Structure 1
């Protein structure tokens, strides 16, 4: 079994989109580790604030199968893909880690882990002792050394999952 971590984000119908995404992921992969939800400003474009969180699960599925399934879940949520990655979206699901795989083809580990508070903090919440395959530091160590001064995130009070 391989431990898989995903980043989820939404700034269109945020609550409904995140709830729907979590339901679809649970249906597809079974039991999920789910981080708290954080609110953050849109990055790279003017738009409504995002809800972001990270989920983890164990899987025997091949990485290509998982990526195809994630795109289908995004599509079912109303996600319209275009060339501009900095745009509003109902549901964005990014494969952050697939075990300790380092792979250019799949952009793993995803660079967002080290660059964005809205990815690193929720990942640290559910897997603080997980070691980043390239940085060779735990998520907790990465978060403790992260400069989030220009990336405000706020944990929201409500739960968007069961």
Structure 2
């Protein structure tokens, strides 16, 4: 089994889309270890605030199949692939880590935004504090500690989810 970490983001009907995304991840991968859910301002475009979190789960699927499942879940929840890179999202699922694999194809792993987006790094550090980033060779807790927190604002919100609770 492989440990995978997935970021989840939504700024369109964000509470229900986030819960639906968690349900779909649970249905496809089983038990999820979740970070807190954070609200943050949109980055790269003017838009409503996002909900963001990171989950850890396990899979026996290869990387390309995990990516296919994530794209399918996004599509099932209204994500259009024709959307601009920086635009509102019903559901955005990104594979951040697959064990300690470093790849460029079919996806770049670890995802580069792990190091520069607070809304990815903080929740990742919360559930993978002692895991080492396979390129910079530092634990995520240390990377978050050293992160310039003035760059992006985010705050924890009250959010409750249990599988298929919508």
Q: TM-score range, shorter-chain basis?
A: over 0.9
Cα distance in 2 for partners of 1:132, 1:32 equals: 21
Cα distance in 2 for partners of 1:15, 1:24 equals: 14
2:158 paired with 1:157 = yes
Corresponding residue for residue 62 of structure 1: 62
Corresponding residue for residue 75 of structure 1: 75
Alignment of 1:12-161 (within 5 A): 12-82=12-82, 84-105=84-105, 106-161=107-162
Could you list the runs of 5+ residues in structure 1 that have no partner in the other structure? none
Deviation of 1:82 (Å) = 2.0
Deviation of 1:83 (Å) = 5.6
Question: When the two structures are superposed, what TM-score results if normalisation uses the length of structure 1?
Answer: 0.97
Alignment RMSD (CA, Å): 1.0
Residues 71-103 of structure 1: CA deviation (Å, up to 9, x unaligned)? 000000111112621000100000100111101
Deviation of 1:161 (Å) = 4.0
Deviation of 1:148 (Å) = 1.4
Could you list the runs of 5+ residues in structure 2 that have no partner in the other structure? none
User: Once superposed, which parts of structure 1, at least 4 consecutive aligned residues long, lie more than 4 Å away?
Assistant: none
Count of residues in Structure 1 that have an aligned counterpart in Structure 2: 162
Cα distance in 2 for partners of 1:82, 1:43 equals: 19
Question: When the two structures are superposed, what TM-score results if normalisation uses the length of structure 2?
Answer: 0.95
- Contact 1:37/1:159 (8 A) holds in 2: no
Cα distance in 1 for partners of 2:73, 2:29 equals: 12
| SS of aligned partner of 2:5 | strand
More moved, 131-140 vs 77-86: 77-86
- Contact 1:10/1:89 (8 A) holds in 2: yes
Corresponding residue for residue 11 of structure 2: 11
